[in-house]
Each structure stands twice: as structure tokens, then as C-alpha cells.
Structure 1
Amino acid sequence: MSQLASGHNVEVLEGEELARQMRDWRGYKKGLVRLTPGPWVMPKGFLKFADKFYEFKFRPNDVLIMTYPKCGTTWTQEIVWTMRNNPDLTSPDAALPILVKSPFLE
């Protein structure tokens, strides 16, 4: 068992418990981990980023966008980026991919 910067302990799920969880988490072929305290079950790949997410510092001029799933998140990101960075629609950066212009933390 290891520990994250957040203080959560990490336990790799194995055996019967992994098989039971994988019935509901079919897309995660690399395994699952449990974070305690709390009822958190995450894909094993989350461990590569967990400490970076925990230690992330927002800047005073950052804008947070929150939408319901499948309700126009990408479109909202594009609108907000354009309002802030390209209001006259002449910026050459407008052609950059949306994930470059508007990083996505999920």
C-alpha cells in the first residue's frame, strides 16, 4: 500500500474484489485502485496524475468551466476562449486544438 500527497492510501484491487468491480468498470483494462479514507475507486492510471492534481495551483485569472456530461462542454470551452482571447476573430491561435487552448481536468 502506498500513500498519495493528499494523504489517501492506495490499495490495488485484486482477485474477487477486482472481478466484482470490473463488472461495472469494463473499460479499465489496466486495473483499479481503492483510495482510503473515502469510498473512492479509480482507474490505476489515475496514480500517474493524482499528486499533480492535488498540488495544482490555480492562477487568479483562470476561468473554470463546469457543465453536465454531454451538454456542450467543448462548445462552451471554445466560446469562453474566444471571448477572452479572440473577440475580433483574428487570432492565429484560434486554429489550435481546444485541449491546447483550454486544458481539461476531469
Structure 2
Amino acid sequence: MPLESGHDVVPLEGEELARQEKNFVGFTHGIARLTPGNWFLPMAYAQVADKIFNFKWLPTDVLVMGYPRCGTAWIQEIVWTMRNNPDIDHPMAVLPILGRVPYIEYALHLH
């Protein structure tokens, strides 16, 4: 399946799929290879890839990215507090971090 980014989504099958599912147990609805680049992603990525690719960034947006389980949420909290709540009295401070900081690929986890 071709994407607007110029990549193709190729579903894994057979032995290759079985090997990846063994190592990536959280991907329960299929795994796809994104080429060029050979990225492995949940198959649900194909449904949101073009929306992510066409996302319109604002000049004031800050992108925080990292590997899973490396402190990304902690960094999001620090950046949000530095930008919005230096005196710790912002009304949104009581919301969970996902309520204050958008997670651009969150939709792929809902499929």
C-alpha cells in the first residue's frame, strides 16, 4: 500500500511475521514493514500514516520523541511546565500528561 510520504506498507507474512510477533508481543493485529527504510510498525500505522505525514506544525510546537520506556513522559512534563506553568498554578496542571501534551501517533494504538 503506497503512502503519501513515498513509502510503501508491506504486511509481514509467514515465518517472518511469526518471528516478529514472538519478539514484539504488543503488536497483536499484524506487523508491517515500511519501505524504504525497513521500519517495522503495527499494521494499524497504515490507517494513520498519511494524517501524520500531513500534520500541520505550528512555529511554537515542540516535538519530544524517544524510545519507549526512556523517560519521554517525564520530559513532556518538564517541557510543558517550563512553557505553561512556571509558577505551578496553571489550571490544566491537574490533568494527566496525555490531556496536556498531544501524542501524534496515539490513534494507531486505538485500532
Query: Greater RCO between the two (CA within 8 Å, min separation 6)?
Result: 2
- Closer, same or farther: CA 69–36 of 1 in aligned 2, 3 Å: closer
The residue identity in structure 1 corresponding to 2:98 is L
- Equivalent pairs counted in the alignment come to 105
The share of aligned pairs that are identical, in percent, is 56
* C-alpha distance in 1 between matches for 2:64 and 2:88: 21
- Per-residue deviation, 1:84: 1.4
TM-score (norm 1): 0.80
**Secondary structure of 2:10's aligned partner:** strand
Q: Partner residue of 2:49?
A: 50
The answer to whether 1:99 aligns with 2:102 is: no
TM-score (norm 2): 0.77
Judged with a 3 Å threshold, the aligned counterparts in structure 2 of structure 1 residues 73 and 11 are, in CA distance, closer, same or farther, namely closer
**RMSD over aligned Cα, in angstroms?**
2.1
Tell me how far 1:20 sits from its aligned partner. Answer: 2.5
5+ residue gaps, structure 2, are 106-111
Q: What corresponds to 1:29 in structure 2?
A: 28
Change (3 A) 1:22 1:66: closer
